[in-house]
A and B are shown apart, each in its own frame.
Chain A
Amino acid sequence: MRHVDLGTVSRPLSQAVYHGVAHTMAAGDEPTLITVSPDGPYVCVGYHQVASREVNRDYCAAHDIPVARRMVGGGAVLLDHDQVFWHLILPRGSEPVQAVYDRCLGAPVDAYRRMGIAAEHRPVNDIVVGAQKIGGTGAVTLEGALAIVGSLMFDFDVDTMTRVLAVPSEKFRDKMQSSLRDYMTTMRAQLGSAMPSRPEAVALLVDAFGERLGEPVHSGVLTTAEEAATRHYAELLFDPAFVYAYGSTEGWVQAGVKIREGVRLYEGVAKAPGGLVRVIVRECDGRVDDVLLAGDFLVEPRDGLARVAEAVVGSPMLPEAYLPRLERAWATISVPGVTAADVGRAWAQAVAIDPTGVLEPHRAAGGARAGP
């Protein structure tokens, strides 16, 4: 296996390189492992995403954060110099996608473990430490090759992540920040001052890939053809005409924001005679994990909404399960002009996918996720 360590490169090259190498790979070529970091932050959306729904374009433009669209699937993510990307490019085979992940993701898991981090592969393709994600992965079949990509997460800028993505409200942004802190982790969070240097971490990763794939590893450089293909993709993937190619009725649209596999954050609103009801719900593995109820109405007692929210936490994320709990708790508080049914409507709107794909501004965050 050839290992190409590119160190730090421009943002477009950091994303384009595995596309270029995959595009150029022929049957019988040896596998290639690339390690690389970008020289600054950028947003990268999944191939099928509607970027205009996912990204806060104004914020990105004002802060020199370019937006790319990769050929790999999944959701929008913030990438920056605090991550070392790894890209494994293999000649196209005939294994199921899950089997490829199972075979390859042992390598970053092994590398993390050798650093002292109790990482595990959580199928389909997350790498987790307990309940927290430390890196997602993705894959693409491109011409004659399969590229599997991920990153070593040295650190992660939660605050910027919640600003580069389109979110429906400031309250949602706050909840997204706390959710990312609850459900994401980094090498810095895990190891503090014992965190390895970049070269040390890369060496651990490369050794682990060599062992897992049973391939002796040698250092190499990109060929002229690979460099040319990479330059082509560097232009394509960051071209706004390509990034924003999907209109609002195309592409892959999901309700809410993915925090990690199994954890999503949703927001919905509904008008009631007493005022506007806002519901922010976090789902974890099919259950209600956290709820924030808010609105411009009077509540007695003052902590009434928090008590109602507490009453539904732990319920399965099904209306027949959470609505009875909601109604029982709502009956113990006084909110003139707002009923439990109004809250239920806001909740239903939060988790619904707008079938037309034409969303209200407060629903603009559909389908984003927080991790590569």
Chain B
Amino acid sequence: MSGAADGGHDVNQVNGCQLPADLLYWPEKHVWVRGPDADGVVEAGLTDVAQHLAGKIVMVNLRGLGKTLARGKSAGTLESGKWVGTIPTPVAGEVVAVNEALKASPETVNRDPYGAGWLIRVKPSAWDVDREELAGGPDGLARYRELLERDGIHCAS
């Protein structure tokens, strides 16, 4: 279930879904958080689960640059197969960067959701509070696994 290496990071596999061990998750929203870095900025994106549920992504529209968003508010939208969904920000704060490269190659989110397919960088306004809500480490992965199993979500297809 775990231990596969990806660029030196441990990656867990749950129901065929890749879940790197070093990230924090909001399982119900299928978003991840990395960081914070030395400047206190966190990076966020969609999980492998989210990209699998969406299918081939043809458009990522990130309109939040410079905005201060509450946790869970929409940082943008994505489109696949004429389906449109929103991208919830997993932490409250100011969006200090968006992944402009996705405009030209949105399918990167399908191909590399935890790397080149990152979505936004946020300067958190209440990191200590939001961190508590996110799932990380073995307990967090167990929480995500429980949700995938409860909802019958499998990434292998």
Contact = CB atoms under 8 A, between A and B. Distances in A.
Say whether chain A's binding surface is mostly helix, strand, loop, or mixed.
loop
Nearest to B106: A252
A96 interface: yes
B43 to A, nearest CB: 23
B55 A73 contact: no
A48 B87 CA distance: 14
What band does the interface of chain B fall in when counting residues whose beta carbon is under 8 Å from A?
A: 20 to 34
A91 interface: no
A140 B84 contact: yes
A249 to B, nearest CB: 9
Nearest to B147: A94
Interface stretch (A131-139, A164-172, A301-309): A131-139
Contacts of B151: 93-94
Interface in B95-132: 104
B81 A140 contact: no
Contact of B79 (A93, A136, A137, A252): A252
B31 interface: no
Given A48-B77, A94-B153, A72 B55 contact: no
Contacts of A136: 82
A95 interface: yes
A355 interface: yes
B61 interface: yes
A101 B53 CA distance: 12
B52 interface: yes
In the A-B complex, the 9 residue pairs with the closest CB atoms: A138-B82, A124-B81, A74-B82, A94-B151, A139-B83, A73-B79, A73-B82, A141-B85, A252-B59
B84 A48 contact: yes
A101 B157 CA distance: 16
Contact of B55 (A47, A96, A251): A96
Interface string B123-157: 00000000000000000000000000001110001
Interface of A: 46-48, 71-74, 93-98, 101, 124-125, 136-141, 250-252, 355
A73 B53 contact: no
Contact of B83 (A93, A94, A138, A252): A138
A125 B77 contact: no
A94 B30 CA distance: 10
Contacts of A97: 53-55, 80-81, 83
A352 B79 CA distance: 21
Given A73-B59, A94-B53, A98-B55, A46 B82 contact: yes
Contacts of B104: 355
B84 A71 contact: yes
A139 B54 CA distance: 11
Interface of B: 52-55, 58-59, 61, 77, 79-86, 104, 151-153, 157
Given A94-B152, A94-B153, A136-B82, 9 more contacts: A72-B84, A94-B151, A96-B53, A97-B55, A101-B81, A124-B82, A141-B83, A141-B85, A141-B86
Contacts of B80: 73, 97
Contact of B61 (A93, A95, A250): A250
A95 B55 CA distance: 11
A368 to B, nearest CB: 14
A93 B82 CA distance: 17
A355 to B, nearest CB: 7
A164 B157 CA distance: 41
A239 to B, nearest CB: 17
A139 B84 CA distance: 6
Contact of B53 (A48, A72, A95): A95
B28 to A, nearest CB: 10
A96 B59 contact: no
A250 B103 CA distance: 9
18 contacts: A47-B79, A48-B61, A48-B77, A71-B84, A73-B59, A73-B80, A73-B83, A94-B151, A96-B52, A97-B54, A125-B81, A137-B82, A138-B83, A139-B84, A140-B84, A141-B83, A252-B79, A355-B104
B53 A140 contact: no
B58 to A, nearest CB: 7
- Give the one of B59, B79, B83, B84 with max A CB within 10 A: B83
A137 B82 CA distance: 8
Given A47-B77, A47-B79, A48-B79, A140 B85 contact: yes
B101 to A, nearest CB: 13
B22 to A, nearest CB: 25
B30 to A, nearest CB: 9
The winner among B59, B61, B84, B86 for most chain A CB atoms within 10 A is: B84
A73 B59 CA distance: 10
